[in-house]
Structure 1
């Protein structure tokens, strides 16, 4: 394999490795964001459940219509917040899946380039070995001709 081809493949491999490393960082960040979004969704859901339990206990003791209205209004906003955070968590999870797929593709490119380089190096080594064998055979044949010519 020529030096120029080796240099080109080495540059391609370095670039693919940088892209793979960047994809790994993106996946890590996406994972953290998905985890945080799910945690916040869980906290909001837990808070909503606690709020409903507290309200049920308060309602059992009796309350006014204005307080019931406040409870319903806040409950609706809390439901919306839980739903919105569920969507945020879902989108974060989708970003994580896409980032994982991108990392897998980048890893495949790196592996393919490494395999190509190894194959090219093996081919070059075989070609060099054949040339060396040919030269050795040629030298031996000439030496034999010289010996037979002198004899």
Structure 2
């Protein structure tokens, strides 16, 4: 009886496994997007650092007002791009956190179902062992009665 309960759960476990695999795939996808966004942010920050280093180099030799205005304008645009990329990284991290929560929930559900099936299988084995022991006891008792 309990073994049939375990077998009836097989389609449910299949669906839960598919849902967990899809959630894991989504989690990997969002991890990749976070990595890409963080990479772009790193590139922008390195570019800003290089550009600031150029200011130090050029500044020692003296710069024109036009060069300084262009430098400040470009640096301002670069700071804006960095800020926007930081927001993008944060947004991707939020999506990653949501995907991780979905995966954890689906994984926990799948593990719960697997434990339930294992319990049903253990109960079925125990019941079968008891039936077998009862049959052996009856057979042994009959043999003793026949010997007497």
TM-score of the aligned structures, taking structure 1 as reference length? 0.81
2:140 and 2:17 mapped to 1: Cα distance?
Answer: 47
**How far apart are 1:50 and its partner, in Å?**
0.8
For each residue in 1:86-110, what CA deviation from the matched residue of structure 2 results, as whole angstroms up to 9, or x when unmatched?
1212222232233233322222222
**How far apart are 1:36 and its partner, in Å?**
1.2
Partner of 1:90: 90
In structure 1, runs of 5+ residues without a counterpart are none
Greater Cα offset, 62-71 or 12-21: 62-71
What is the correspondence of 1:1-151 to structure 2 with a 5 Å cutoff?
A: 1=2, 3=4, 5-139=5-139, 147=146
SS in structure 1 at match of 2:63: coil
The structure that has the greater radius of gyration is 1
2:140 and 2:120 mapped to 1: Cα distance?
Answer: 30
1:28 and 1:42 mapped to 2: Cα distance?
Answer: 21
In structure 2, runs of 5+ residues without a counterpart are none
